[in-house]
């Protein structure tokens, strides 16, 4: 999801990471363990109900639509998004990037198009969520990121935007000097928990974003505590048997009203 420039990152997602992530999530390959004795995570979805219409995905159960279609955007989609055209194309929700912590020096920054994207999407009657790209090393840095996010959300809310979900997006980045690539699973989980706790106390619903490798670094406890936004591209159906709320299934989608590639998402509503 996260684009990278000298201060930012763009995840180069590899489908093969699904296998590695699945092994980590199930405990396979660890010393002294046998895959046959490890209980795998389970998926609540019957993928025969997944329907593709062009680039749009929908999910049905008992012939009833149980999903919504959406996108996520940042300054990298540019300044010329036609939000009315986006809504007319069938998009129902959007996650807008609030900002980021720099991958090398660690400075906090607001996405240049955050306010514009949030207000434009809200005016088009789309449900608006938010995400922050973290490179936190410690719980204190994660709390700083969360407080930064809450402050920016408040500014947008004063312009009439309503936010419900706020996602924590922490990814390894493929640039020299990346500050947070080698966090232990314990620290990675502690940082996510610290961010989500601040977000929840501010009255929003936290969410965890990641591909299989990212999610494998988080404890099972925190993955069950908060909704998961799962990223995997280039597959017909998700390969990881995990209970997630949103599947980000493409980072090269096309949507009327947006002149660049855009991430495509399906939000399952089965509960």
The residue among 244, 199, 238 whose CA lies nearest residue 218 is: 244
Find the catalytic residue in 174, 182, 186, 269. Answer: 174
From the candidates 62, 63, 176, 221, give the one annotated as an active-site residue: 176
Using DSSP bridges, classify how beta strands 127-134 and 108-110 pair: parallel, antiparallel or unpaired.
Answer: unpaired
Tokens at residue 92, please?
């129902």
What does residue 68 show for φ and ψ, rounded to 5 degrees? -130, 160
User: Which one is catalytic: 72, 145, 169, 263?
Assistant: 72
Strand partners, 247: 230, 266
- E strands, 171-261, are 205-210, 228-231, 246-253
Bridge partner residues of 68 (DSSP): 267
Is there a catalytic annotation at residue 174?
Answer: yes
Listed in sequence order, the residues at least 6 apart from 101 whose beta carbon sits closer than 8 Å to its beta carbon are 107, 108, 109, 133, 134, 135, 136, 141, 145
Instruction: Decide if 80 is catalytic.
Output: no
Integer Cα distance of 219 and 253 in angstroms: 31
First-last CA distance in the chain: 26
Active site residue 176: yes
Other CB atoms within a 10 A radius of the CB of residue 42 amount to 9
Active site residues: 72, 174, 176
């Amino acid at each position: 999801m996260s684009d990278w420039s000298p201060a930012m990152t763009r995840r180069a997602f590899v489908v093969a990471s699904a296998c590695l992530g699945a092994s980590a999530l199930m405990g396979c390959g660890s010393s002294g363990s046998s895959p046959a004795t490890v209980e795998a995570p389970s998926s609540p979805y019957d993928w025969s109900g997944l329907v593709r219409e062009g680039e749009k995905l929908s999910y049905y159960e008992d012939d009833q639509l149980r999903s919504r279609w959406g996108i996520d955007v940042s300054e990298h989609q540019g300044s010329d998004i036609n939000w009315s055209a986006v809504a007319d194309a069938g998009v129902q929700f959007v996650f807008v990037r609030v900002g980021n912590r720099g991958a090398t020096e660690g400075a906090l920054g607001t996405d240049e198009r955050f306010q514009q994207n949030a207000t434009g999407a809200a005016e088009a009657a789309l449900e608006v969520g938010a995400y922050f790209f973290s490179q936190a090393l410690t719980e204190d840095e994660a709390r700083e990121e969360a407080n930064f996010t809450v402050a920016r959300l408040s500014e947008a809310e004063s312009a009439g935007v309503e936010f419900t979900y706020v996602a924590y997006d922490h990814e390894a980045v493929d640039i020299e000097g990346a500050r947070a690539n080698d966090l232990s699973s314990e620290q990675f989980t502690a940082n996510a928990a610290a961010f989500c706790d601040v977000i929840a106390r501010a009255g929003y619903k936290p969410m965890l974003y990641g591909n299989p490798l990212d999610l494998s670094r988080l404890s099972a406890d925190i993955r069950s505590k908060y909704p998961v936004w799962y990223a995997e591209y280039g597959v017909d159906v998700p390969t990881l048997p995990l209970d997630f709320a949103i599947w980000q299934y493409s980072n090269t989608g096309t949507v009327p009203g947006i002149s660049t590639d855009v991430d495509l998402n399906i939000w399952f509503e089965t509960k």
